[in-house]
Amino acid sequence: MERMAEPRRGLPRTDAWSGRMTGQGVFRYEETAMVVIDYQQEMFDQIRSETSAGLVDLNIRFLIRTAKAFGMPIVLSTVGVELGVNGPTRSSILEELPGAPEIDRSSMNAWEDAAFRDAVRATGRKRLLVGALFTEICLAFPVVEMLRDGYDVAFPVDAVGGLSQVAHATAIQRLVQAGAVPTTALAFGTELFRDWKSPVAGRARELVKGYLTEVAQATSPHVEGA
């Protein structure tokens, strides 16, 4: 029997469903939309992976601020609110998105919800930054289907979290193998403008400065009696 050729390793790769080349080039704000899924208090309470719930909150808020500064469309979704299972998006995050509609679902996989799919498609963007809680469920499920349907997807590893470190890490492996691009909050923010002399860099300068200050405050060791 003729031996089958081994798949090529490394990015870019050919998507198994669509035959598209994935993972090519940096993301640009003009071609990217942001998707924020299930950042609800009930999920924050259960984060047990390496990035603390407080830093997940800070990192997703920084990315939302960045997306707004560059005029990127943002799709916001929740799960189980109408069913009375969960509350709405965490208030600290909603404050960054005043008036934004929350697309509530019953499905674990957001891509199985017609209203959610329609909202993402309505952005007109084929590249997506997707954050969700939990990594292993509400991030992994829709992202692998977005990839199948022809989207390029990046996800911020430090703005998501799982029920355990092993669940979080295993989901990241699944996503990368499917063709999604792992990134971090600050890395993605700088990827959008990339040059301090860029005409749009001014929009990011204060955001980055403020973010670094907040991170320093959030991670500084507590001094007894201070």
Summarize pLDDT for 197-207 with one digit per residue, the tens.
988 888 889 99
Q: Where are the domains of the chain?
A: 25-216
What mean pLDDT, rounded, does the chain reach? 90
Q: How many CB atoms lie within 10 A of CB 106?
A: 12
Q: What's the whole-model pTM score?
A: 0.88
pLDDT at 14 over 60: no
CATH superfamily of 25-216: Isochorismatase-like (3.40.50.850)
116 contacts 76 by C-beta, under 8 angstroms: no
| pLDDT tens digits, one per residue of 109-144 | 999 999 999 999 999 999 999 999 999 999 999 999
Q: Which residues of 165-177 are buried (b: 16+ CB within 10 A; e: fewer)?
A: eebbbebbebbee
CB 70 within 8 Å of CB 76: no
Mean pLDDT score, 3-24: 46
